[in-house]
Structure 1
Amino acid sequence: MKKVGIIGGSGFIGSYITKMFLDNDFLVKVSATDITREDKFQHLVTLSNADNLHISELDVLNIAILKDFIFDCDILIHCGTPFILNFQDAQSQLFEPTIKGTQNFLKLIHQTPGIEKVIFIASVAAYNTNFPMPAEGKSFTDTFDENDRRFTSSESHPYAQAKFLANQEVEKFIKDNPNLSFEISSVSPVAVMGKAMSNREDSTSTGLQFLIKNKIAPDAFIQALYDNDVPFAIVDVEDVALAVFKAATTKGLHGKDYLLSSETYKISDIHLMLNQKEPLENARIIYKNDLATTDLGMHFRPAKETLNNYSNNSIQPS
C-alpha cells in the first residue's frame, strides 16, 4: 500500500482529502497541531478504513518532528498553513508558520528519498492577494486564469500576503532544482465552502458561511463585502479534495498550479442560497477552471449545491 502524509489533514479541506485517500486504500498519516484536542481529529477515526490512519502531532517550525513526519511517505500533501482572518499578530500567526513552514518542508523533501509526489494547497491569493476584490487592472467582471499576471499588494490581508509569498517559495524551489526525483504540483482554490466533516466551532471557512448566511459583520473586512455586494468565486470543499487526489495520483503535472473554482455570485445572492432561497442573478465564471478540467478531468459542482450542503448542516459556529 502506498503511504500519503497529509499536513493539516484534520482541517476543513484536509479532512476531505484524508477521507479521499482512505477510500482509495492508501495508508494515511495525518498531522494535528495539538494531539490533546481530540475534537480536531475525532471525526477522522470513524471513517471507513480508519485502521489505515495514523495521527501525529506536528509543528512545521520544528525541523526534527517535520522530518520524522515526512519520512517513508510516497506522497505528501501540504495543507497545514493557518487560515486566520481575525488575527492578533500577523508575523507569528500567519507569516512565520506559512512561509517558514513551507521553507522547512521544501528543504526536507529535497533531502528525503522515496518521495514520488508533493502537492501544495495554495490559495487564489497565490494569484491575487486582493481576492475577492479584483486584481489591479481588472474589474469585477473580468475573467482570471493561470496565464494572468499574479498580483500582490502590501495593502492586502496578511493571510493572503503569506499565501502569495509561500507560493513564491515553491516556484523558486522548482526553478532552482530542475532535476528533482519527484513531482510538485499546486492547487489554488477560491473561497472554499460546503459542509465541515467535524463538529468544531473554530473553523474560519465554515464560520464565514455562517456570517454571510446571517448577515453578521464582526469586522470591517466582512462589512465591506456586504456594503459593496462583492462577487465571490466559490468552490466546493469536496471538489478541492478530489482535485488534490487526482493531482497527487496523475503523473506529468510537475510545476503546474491549478485554479480551483466553480461559479461566482454576489454576496447578497450567496446569502439567499445559504437560506434556501433562489439567487436574484445568474452565476458568472470569473476565475476559470479550464486547466483543472482538462488536466484533472474535474467537473465542478454548482455553487447552489455547495451552499445548500452547508445550510443543511445542523451544527453552526457559535
Structure 2
Amino acid sequence: MSSTILITGGSGFAAAHVIRAFLSQGYNVKATVRSEARGEEVLASHPEHSAKLSYVVIPDIADKDAFNDALKGVDGVIHVASPMILGATDFEAQLFRPAVDGTVNLLEAIQKSNANVSRVVITSSIASILDPLQGQRPGYVYTEKDWNPVSKEAAIESGNAVLAYLASKTIAEKAAFDYVEKNKPKFTVTALCPPFIYGPLLHHVESIKELNTSSNDIYRLFNGSEKEVPTTAFFSYVDVRDLAKAHVQAFEKPAASNQRYLIAASAYTYQQIVDIIRAKFPELSETTPKGVTGAPIPPAYIIDTTKANTDLGVKYRSLEDTIVDAVKSLRKLEEA
C-alpha cells in the first residue's frame, strides 16, 4: 500500500510541482487548500493522478486546530504553505503569524495525533541563511551553518517589508528545529532553503494579473514594463521542478533527518535572463530590455550546496532550460 503524504498550500506555484513529484513516485497525496474551489483546481491540475490525489480545506493554517482532520492516515508531511509577500503592511498578520504559528501548530498537531508521520519537510528559504545587512558580500561562502541575524523586533521596527519577510522565514524555521529539540517527537524535520524559484506554471492561475511573485519576476522582463535591466537582488535561483524533486529526496533519505539544506542551482543575473529571452524568443526583443549582452556576474556571495548534493543527490537544470520553459508557460497563460 502506498504511503500518503500531506502537502500544505496545495494550490500554490511550488506546491503544485511538489505534488506532481510525489505522485510521480507512486505516493498518495492529500493537499491542503483554503477553499473547495481551490481544491477542485488542484485536482484539475493533475488529471492523470486523480485516483491518488485528494484535498482538505483549511481556511487558516495558523489556527490551533487547523490540521487535526487533515492528518488522518498520513505518513509524511511536506509543509510548503507560507506567504511570500514582499510588500506586506501588517507584518504580524501577513508574515509572522502564518509563517511561525502555521509551522508550530502543524508540528504540535502531528505529535498529538495518531498519525504515523515519519518526517516533516519544511519549505524554508535562503532568506533564513543570508545576512541581508551585508549586501552582496563578495567572496563570502554561505552554507547551512549560516543564519539570518535579523530579529523579529528589528524587522518590525525597521518598517521594511522585505526585511520582515526574510525574518519571518528565519524565525519559522528556527521554531521548527526548536520544537523538535524541546519536544522530542517521533518524527524528524528537514528544512529546504531555496532562493528565487523559477520555472513553468503547473498550478491554476486565473489570469496573468494573479501570478506568484517569482513568475511575475520573469514576466516583467519581457512584457514591456521594464525599460532597463533591473539590478539583481538575489544571486541564486532554483528550478521549481528540481526543488520539487528535492522535497521527495528530503523525505526519503535517512541522512536528511533534522537537517537543513541549501537548494540552489547557481548564481545568475537579470542580464543573463534577458540575454536568454532575446536569443530564444527574438519576437520578444522589442519588449525585453537589452542591457549589456554577456555582461559577467558581478562580485557577490557564493552559495555552497555541497551538503544537499551529497546527502540528497540533488541535480539542477541550466538557467537556459528554466527560463525558456518559464517564458513558454507564461506566454501560454498570456494568450489564454
Partner of 2:247: 244
1:254 aligns with 2:263: no
- Specify which of 151, 155, 166 is matched with residue 160 of structure 1: 166
Q: Return the offset for 1:253.
A: 1.9
1:146 aligns with 2:155: no
Q: Return the offset for 1:125.
A: 0.8
Contact 1:35/1:57 (<8 A) preserved: yes
Instruction: Map 1:216-231 onto structure 2 (within 5 A).
Output: 216=225, 226=230, 228-230=231-233
1:303 aligns with 2:319: yes
Contact 2:136/2:301 (<8 A) preserved: no
Partner of 2:53: 53
Partner of 2:217: 208
1:196 aligns with 2:197: no
Amino acid at match of 1:99: V
Contact 1:22/1:50 (<8 A) preserved: no
Partner of 1:315: 332
Q: Return the offset for 1:141.
A: 4.1
Q: What secondary structure does 1:8 align onto?
A: coil
- Specify which of 249, 268, 280 is matched with residue 294 of structure 2: 280
Residue identity (%): 22
Q: What secondary structure does 2:254 align onto?
A: coil
Q: Return the offset for 1:34.
A: 2.2
Q: Return the offset for 1:231.
A: 5.4
Contact 2:142/2:301 (<8 A) preserved: no
Partner of 1:12: 13
Contact 1:12/1:205 (<8 A) preserved: no
Partner of 2:92: 91
Cα 1:172–1:215 change in 2 (3 A) is farther
- Specify which of 290, 301, 310 is matched with residue 306 of structure 2: 290
Partner of 1:181: 186
Cα 1:255–1:37 change in 2 (3 A) is closer
Amino acid at match of 2:256: L
Amino acid at match of 2:126: V
Cα 1:104–1:192 change in 2 (3 A) is same
* TM-score, length basis structure 1: 0.86
Q: What secondary structure does 1:63 align onto?
A: coil
Distance in 2, Cα, partners of 1:38 & 1:68? 16
Amino acid at match of 1:211: R
Contact 2:4/2:30 (<8 A) preserved: yes
Distance in 1, Cα, partners of 2:312 & 2:266? 18
Q: Deviations over 1:269-304 (max 9, x none)?
A: 223224446961456982121111100111211222
Distance in 1, Cα, partners of 2:25 & 2:134? 42
Instruction: Choose between structure 1 and 2: higher helix proportion.
Output: 2
Q: Deviations over 1:32-83 (max 9, x none)?
A: 112224685254341x222111112112123334111123210000001111
Q: Return the offset for 1:315.
A: 3.2
The structure number with the bigger radius of gyration is: 2
Q: Return the offset for 1:161.
A: 1.6
Contact 2:198/2:323 (<8 A) preserved: yes
Q: What secondary structure does 1:68 align onto?
A: coil
Contact 2:39/2:55 (<8 A) preserved: no
Distance in 2, Cα, partners of 1:129 & 1:82? 20
* TM-score, length basis structure 2: 0.82
Q: What secondary structure does 1:99 align onto?
A: helix
Say how many residue pairs are matched.
Answer: 305
Q: Deviations over 1:192-245 (max 9, x none)?
A: 10111134142222112112344746xxxxx9x92x444531100001000000
Distance in 1, Cα, partners of 2:135 & 2:233? 17
Mark the runs of 5 or more structure 1 residues left unpaired by the alignment. 218-222
Distance in 2, Cα, partners of 1:137 & 1:315? 36
Aligned alpha-carbon RMSD (Å): 2.7
1:106 aligns with 2:123: no
